[in-house]
Structure 1
């Protein structure tokens, strides 16, 4: 029973075409299971769904620079955001990392939070280390700053 937990984190990803549907499918199962409960859902999004324009009409994965080999995966994973927005009876948050997510990078307390758009650090890069990502995720679990919205981050 998921409702015994304060927060459920969905960090599901998929790396082969036959599995691309799993993140969105699991998001749908989780919002149905957590509807009208006090258990929060934090989903980890994909960078391709972040917007590159202020009008929120062009996603990163719609730009010519987006690597074509990741397009289908990105578009399929991006459906999770659409699912969350349809469930006002779930206390959800979407944490979407930037395009450069570094498994080897250092943890830092020097980072910038953003919302729906790709943001850049002081060096002009959309960069975040896994360690800093984890720190920001734990902060959101503890402090609940982004209820029913999406956010992103970069580190300097």
Structure 2
């Protein structure tokens, strides 16, 4: 996989670092794109703010993985603006864009009129973030000029959970495993996301990953 080149944006973050670790472990050539010193296992690094990245910076990669995330209320719009910036930079190129998404926009009915975040028991403190990430997905769906894939995690996305080596690939609808659980560790999520990065099986689609 040494000739397969992946860039991970916001690689120093919790999700980004797990994705880098998984990809490097498979022998993939990984470049960390970070605002400050690279703290990951990536073989290369571009130290640059996300919003300063250019088409030239992203040239030559098979896949760019957007692992940007923020939980600060005042910064939530950056989920939208960062996606648009990367999509604009990749517009018309063969490089695929994979986005680390959210679970709140997963559908809870077959008609796809209700989302997980609409439920009465959805945590109120998570609603602003889920709403913004859902709007970002809506905008991404309009981008037929970019070869994108949006990857939602399970409802319970566990940063420090173990790497079991197993996950279930699902689609647009909220789902659970055989134990009725919707949970996945960052490490197992990284396995599924890197699998998608390598295969490219879901261009212009949203997929979801849950723990087996």
| TM-score clears 0.5 | yes
Determine which structure has more spread, i.e. the larger CA radius of gyration: 2
Matching residue within 79, 90, 93 for 2:135: 79
The 4+ residue runs of structure 1 with deviation greater than 3 A are none
- Kept after mapping to 2: 8 A contact 1:46/1:77: yes
Q: Provide the TM-score with structure 2 as the length reference.
A: 0.71
Shift of 1:145: 1.4
| Partner residue, 2:184 | 128
Please give the alpha-carbon distance, in whole angstroms, between the structure 2 residues aligned to 1:139 and 1:76: 26
Q: Which residue of 1 aligns with 2:207?
A: 151
Separation (CA, whole Å) in 2 of partners of 1:127 and 1:143: 24
Unpaired runs of at least 5, structure 1: none
Please give the secondary structure, in 1, of the residue aligned with 2:84: helix
Tell me the alpha carbon deviations over residues 34-86 of structure 1, each in whole angstroms, 9 at most, x when there is no partner: 11101110011111111111111111111111111111111012122111111
The answer to which of 125-134 and 98-107 deviates more is 98-107
RMSD (Å) for aligned C-alpha atoms:
1.2
Secondary structure at 1:30 match in 2: helix
Distance (Å, rounded) in 2 between the aligned partners of 1:106 and 1:17? 29
**What displacement does 1:125 show?**
0.6
Aligned to 1:37: 93
Q: Hey, what does 2:26 align to over in structure 1?
A: none
The 2-side partners of 1:61 and 1:76 are apart by 11
1:138 to 194, 200, 203: 194
Partners of 1:37 and 1:17 in 2: CA distance: 33
CA contact (8 A) 2:172 2:207 kept: yes
The structure showing larger relative contact order (alpha-carbon pairs under 8 Å, at least 6 residues apart) is 1
What TM-score, normalized by structure 1, do the two folds share? 0.95
